[in-house]
A = this chain, B = another copy of it.
Amino acid sequence: MGEPRITPRTFKGMRDFLPQEMLRREELFQYLRTVYQRYGFAPVETPAVEYLDILMGKYGSEGEKLIYRLDYKGGQVLALRYDLTVPLARLAAEHRDLPKPFKRYQMQPVWRADRPQLRQGRYREFYQCDADIIGEADRVADAEILCLIGEVIDGLGLGTAKVRVNHRRILEGMVAAAGLPQEAGPAVLRAIDKVDKVGEEGIEAEFEREEIPKEARGLLLEFLQHPKGGRTEIEALREAYDDSGIQEGCADLLRIWECLDALGAPLDRFEFRLSLARGLDYYTGAVYEAFVDELPHIGSLAGGGRYDDLISVFSPESLPAVGAAIGFDRILTALEQMGKTSERSTATQVLVLRFSDDDEAAALRMTGRLRNAGIATEVVYRHGKLGKQIGVADKRGIPIVVFQGTDEAARGEWTLKELRTGEQNVVPDDKVATVVSKLLRH
């Protein structure tokens, strides 16, 4: 064919996943699936493509700029999904007969026309893994979600999961108490969202950047100095401010804490913190983000909140909702950094070796037999030297090789070699599968 005509390349910010990484990813997906199901969530998938008007007006102006549109001449504008929450809201409004409360999980890629920052792990295509409860206004549903993300993170073995919790009504109350109009809300949220990064010294510059009036800053600072903590600190806030938003938000959070306690969740995992803002427009109640204390640099591994008004955009029936997204890629990065991921690039358990033109039929026959016994088996297609073939198996992480020389072939025997220990067994033809199964169980 001569020179290649087309340079093989991938669009920046989107990734090929090769076997080593994919095996890790499949393992993490399976883990998440198990925990979600243990909490009573059922799977859902939605199309990659949504009508653009379904997506617009939900993510804030910055988010909307990042929606990929299709070049489609069908009269209506189509786009790739930006997250899994808005498609879920659309789905819940479209399939109105779904029994409520509807507890669903969903693990699918989303696309954002962002400037990719590969080192920071910001991609244009990445998976989201969401769990949401639709149709339950009682805050017991918030507690279930909080309990779930705490347990998901905790079960990874990365360290102790900590979940920071705040409430949109409290944040709105802060804005009102500081004498600012509600329109100033987003700017205040952006500023206080920086507190954990810039510290209280740096917050003044953020107020300046967000053009928050000087006379309001004192009260906002006072709020931010309110101690973080649990029930005691929520109750103290409720005592200190009359604002109806703050009253409502605190009552909600106390109800959530009550349910967390009843569910048996470790209460010291959850931290009420007024500096947690969380960006998305659609939240209306509690918001939260999960971290691992031992990995402060990695950022939040999960986050979510209550969004009681989103579905009514699509439905005459109002459907309260609450949910969380698990940061799949961040978790995988953290697991890799902690050396908690497998290095294997194959699930193959046995490689059948070959030394000459004459041993193909026997090797293929053994391969078929091992597979019939449920053993993941590959066979060498082109014969070669023993050492080289063992090297290939070892490099790929295949634990056992099976082969026969001419003499063994004449006697109907095979050599089984475990690569980890170097131990060898000579076994008759019809016992190979049984012995391999036994070795794999150890």
Contacts and interface: CB of A to CB of B under 8 A. Distances in A.
A237 interface: no
A78 B9 CA distance: 12
A364 B50 CA distance: 38
B70 A44 contact: no
Interface residues of A, number: 100
A11 B50 contact: yes
A141 B364 CA distance: 11
A347 B42 contact: yes
A10 interface: yes
A6 to B, nearest CB: 6
Contact of A262 (B364, B371, B376): B364
A97 to B, nearest CB: 10
A343 interface: no
A22 B101 CA distance: 18
A209 interface: no
Contacts of A103: 378
Contacts of A372: 264
Nearest to A23: B43
A38 B7 CA distance: 34
Nearest to A141: B381
Nearest to A87: B16
A111 B315 contact: no
B375 A38 contact: yes
B347 A382 contact: no
A317 to B, nearest CB: 9
Interface string A37-63: 111101111111111011000000000
A16 to B, nearest CB: 5
A15 interface: yes
B8 A90 contact: yes
Interface stretch (A183-191, A225-233, A270-278, A306-314): A306-314
A318 B2 CA distance: 9
Interface string A8-29: 1111001111110011011000
B109 A48 contact: yes
B18 A367 contact: no
A376 B40 contact: yes
Contacts of A215: none
A371 B42 contact: no
Residue in A5, A40, A69, A348 whose Cβ sees the most chain B Cβ within 10 Å:
A40
Given A10-B47, A22-B43, A265-B368, A4 B136 contact: no
Interface of A: 1, 3-11, 14-19, 22-23, 25-26, 33, 37-40, 42-51, 53-54, 68-72, 78, 80, 90-91, 93-95, 98-99, 101, 103-104, 109, 111, 113, 124-125, 136, 138, 140-141, 147, 259, 262-265, 309, 312-316, 318, 345-348, 360-361, 364-365, 367-369, 371-372, 374-379, 381-382, 392, 395-396
